[in-house]
Structure formats: structure tokens, C-alpha cells
Amino acid sequence: MSLPKTFGVWGNIEKDAFWNIIPEIIIWADSKNIELFLTEKILSDTRAKKFNQPIIDSKNKISELDFMLVLGGDGTFLSCARAVEHRPTPILGIHLGDLGFLAKVNLENIFQRLDQVAEGKFSVEKRSMVKASILKNGSSLTQYGLNDFVVSNGESHRMLIAEVYVDDNRVSEYKADGLIIATPTGSTAYSLSSGGPIISPDVDSFVITPISAHTLNSRPLVVSAKSTIKINFSSYNQNITFITDGQLHEPLSTDDTVLITNSDFEIGLIDFPDSDYFQTLRTKMGWGTRGNSY
């Protein structure tokens, strides 16, 4: 593995912790003779006036970099993943708050991990992205997500009625507050809080999870990632909203059809020999600990 010579920073500029740590990262990059690039959003902030780093002014610029460093939470990581999309640049997430599932490194060990990256002592874990084709009046809109897609009746708080097919086989008519189609990466997010299972990242699958199902026999369903999931909507629905990774919102009509498949590319996550997905789960979920100590 060749040693990195360039990297970009993608950050949550709303957090003070970002502005506190970025000068130290700039000093670290200089000491390692690695060229650091900052996004247009970062450099447009008045607090970045003292920085003279080169700019990431397009998504294609990302493909020229050896890795992307994300400073923020899982939401910031998701937005970076969608920007990277099919490009080969791997991502390293630094969590600025509580431990996240996607941002594996915290501020306490950031420079230890960056040193490992500079020395080439890391691996790249591949994560699937999911693709949605929204068929509207004969045209098609495409969205990509790392975590999940959600359909709901938006702010109307009405029940969603959706007919779901897997590879043209009818599964069920779901009556619920909404419906989540999650990747294994997204299985620990909204799907989990709605009663869905945790799926190990190396299991090639989707999970279909109803949100607050209005019938007791509606249960989460795990299907192959090779499947095509089709969603049609009842004319009962109003103000249907299609949400990508909790961040992008697209209004739908009852005549629209959603087709969900695996994308034909994967996102690379920088990983380390001593990191452990299940350790992260135990820490995040509090497994094996009691609510109270006696």
C-alpha cells in the first residue's frame, strides 16, 4: 500500500470542537509532508480566514485525494460518503461527540490513528451503498444512500399504506407510520430504533423495517442485497416523503414507484488491525452492563 501524500477534510463547521482541532491537524499534516485540502464550505467560513490550504471545489477533486478525513458525527460522515460516491477515495471518520458507528476514531486518539494512516498501517473496509430509482411520470430520479431510505407521510402524521415487492414477488401491504429500507451499515440507525435487527456489515442484505406498524403481524424482513425491492403507494396516502440517510427529502405522489437495489460501487472505510465492530456495538449499546450498579 502506497503511503498517502494528500488528504481532504470534510467537517461539521457548526461544532466548536471542529475549529479547535483543525489547526492541530494542519500542523500534523505539515510535519508529515502530506498536503491537506479543505472543502469550499470550510474555507468560506470567516473562522477559516487564516487558513491557506488548497480547496476541494468539486466532487471530482475528491477522487484525486488519498483519503478523506471526516470531522463530526455520523451525519457528517453520511454526507461525505454520498459526495465520494463511486470514487475510490477511502474515508476516516473522527467523532467530535459521543462514540458513533461510522466515525470510529475519537479526539483522544486522533493523532495516533493519523500516524498509522501516514505509515500505511491501515486497511480499507468496503461498505455497500444502496440505490433508489424513483419513477415519476415516465422519468427517473436516482438517489444513493449509505444507511437507509425512508418513506413516510411526512408531516401529515397519517398512516402510510405501501405495497412492497421483492423481485416482483408480493411481500405485503404495509400499514405503518413509515417504512425503512436499510443496509447493514444503516441497521444500527433508524431501523434499529424501530425494532429492526442489527446486521453485521459483511452480510450482503437489506432489512425492510416498518415504523410503528399498525398491524401486529408486520415484522422486519431481511432480504438479499441482490434483490430488487419495489414500493407502490395506495391512493389513501398524502404528502409522501422519500428520505435518504435522514438528510435528503424528496416529495412523492401516489402514482410514483420506488425501485431499490444495491449500487454498483462500494464506499471504503479506513479501518485498523485492532478495531472491533462488536466492541463498538458493546460500547454503544451497553451490552453486558447493568442499568444500575449495586
**Residues with a known catalytic role:** 74
C-alpha cell, 3:
503511503
Looking at beta carbons, which pairs linking 167-171 to residues 24 or more positions away fall under 8 Å? 167/227, 167/228, 168/228, 168/230, 171/208, 171/221
Do strands 35-39 and 6-11 pair parallel, antiparallel, or not at all (unpaired)?
parallel
Which string of DSSP letters, residue by residue, matches 37-62?
EEEHHHHTSGGGTT--PPEE-SHHHH
Say if CB 80 and CB 50 are below 8 A apart.
Answer: no
Which residues are within 8 A (CB) of 288 and not within 5 positions of it... i.e. 6 or more apart?
282
